[in-house]
Amino acid sequence: MNDRIGRIYFGVLGIITLIFGITNLIVTLGGNDFSWGILEISSDMFRGGWGGLIVISAGLFYLSSLKNFLEIHQLSRALMGSILVWILAGTDIFVRITESIPGGEEGPWFNSLKGFLETYSPPYPPVIFLLPFSLIILFFVNKMKKA
């Protein structure tokens, strides 16, 4: 049962991740940032280009884990897909943290509470949306450890 749920879940997540990654690359090649609601895709070479390649890799890791999902080598592929998403999302959150603390060039030493909170407001890059869904892999890893 868990195997089937895992396959369906990570199949869907893999396709969505892959689409996000390809969109990242297209936006980077286009040269203009893309915004849609609270989603924003950067067109800079580092976050959009290299980041897009890593998101595509994460999607491919998810999709390659589907056959015999609970077998340890297959599960490790899904886990690796999630680790790539965590690296990207983690660095993005870290960038926001480092931007939120100082008070700016002309301002005081430290940011105001309003300015601090505003740094964390939307729009967000695709990996931030993928982050909570990628955490589901921990459930399967725990399940496997207990088994």
Partner 1 sequence: MTLTADERWDLIEKISNKVVTFGKFKHTLKDALGELTVKPLSGIPIAIAVLYGFWSVFCSFAGTLFTDGFFVKLFDGHFLPWIQSVFPGEGGWFYYIFVGDPAADNCFEAFGVLTSGFFVAIGVVLPAIFIFYLMMALLEDVGYMPRLAVLIDTIFHKIGLHGYAIVPSILALGCNVPAVTATRILETKKQRFIMMTLLAIFIPCGAQLGIMQEVIPESVGIVLLYLIFGYFLFGFILNKITPGKSPEILIDVPPYQKPLWNNIARKLRMRLEGFLKVAVPFVLFGCAIVNILYLTGTIDWLAKTVAPLLTGWFGVPGETVGPLIAAFLRKDLAVAQLSAIEMSKYQMITSVVLVSIYFPCVATFVMLLKEGWKNLLGSLAVLVAVIFLYGGLINLIWTLLGVQ
**Smallest distance from partner 1 to CB 120, Å:** 15
Q: Map the footprint of partner 1 across residues 26-55, applying CB under 8 A.
A: 45-46, 50-51, 53-54
Please, which residue, 36 or 106, has the CB nearer to partner 1?
Answer: 106
137 binds partner 1 (CB under 8 A): no
Please, which residue, 36 or 66, has the CB nearer to partner 1?
Answer: 66
Alpha-helix runs per DSSP H in 101-136: 113-118, 126-134
Distances (CA, A) of 139 to 26, 111, 134, 135: 33, 38, 10, 8
Percent of residues in the chain assigned helix, strand, coil, to nearest 5 = 70, 5, 25
Residue span binding partner 1 (CB under 8 A) among the ranges 10-18, 23-31, 91-99, 124-132: 91-99
Please, which residue, 27 or 56, has the CB nearer to partner 1?
Answer: 56
Asked if residues 130 and 24 have their Cβ atoms less than 8 Å apart, the reply is no
Exposure pattern of 46-68 as b/e (b: 16+ CB <10 Å)?
Answer: ebbbebbebbbbbbbbbbebbee
For partner 1, which residue of 1, 32, 37, 109 counts as binding (CB under 8 A)? 109
* Contacting positions for partner 1 (CB under 8 A): 45-46, 50-51, 53-54, 57, 60-61, 72-73, 75-77, 79-80, 83-84, 87-88, 90-91, 94-95, 98-99, 101-102, 105, 109, 141, 144-145
